[in-house]
Amino acid sequence: MAYTGSGILAVTVSNTEVGTISLFPKAGESYNIDLGGTRSEDDAANATVSGDRINKQNIVCSKFELGQVAWDKTVKDELAFVNKLAAAKVGSTVTVKCIDGAIYEMQNGYPVGDLQGDGSAGTFPCTFQGNPNASRL
Tell me what percent of the chain is helix, strand and coil, each rounded to the nearest 5.
Answer: 5, 45, 45
Q: What per-residue confidence (pLDDT) applies to 5?
A: 86
In a domain, 113, yes or no: yes
Range of the domain at 125: 8-36+62-136
In a domain, 122, yes or no: yes
In a domain, 82, yes or no: yes
pLDDT tens per residue across span 38-88: 999 999 899 999 999 999 999 999 999 999 999 999 999 999 999 999 999
N-terminal to C-terminal alpha carbon distance within the chain: 19
Q: How many domains does the chain have?
A: 1
d(CA 86, CA 82): 6
The pTM of this model reads 0.91
In a domain, 42, yes or no: no
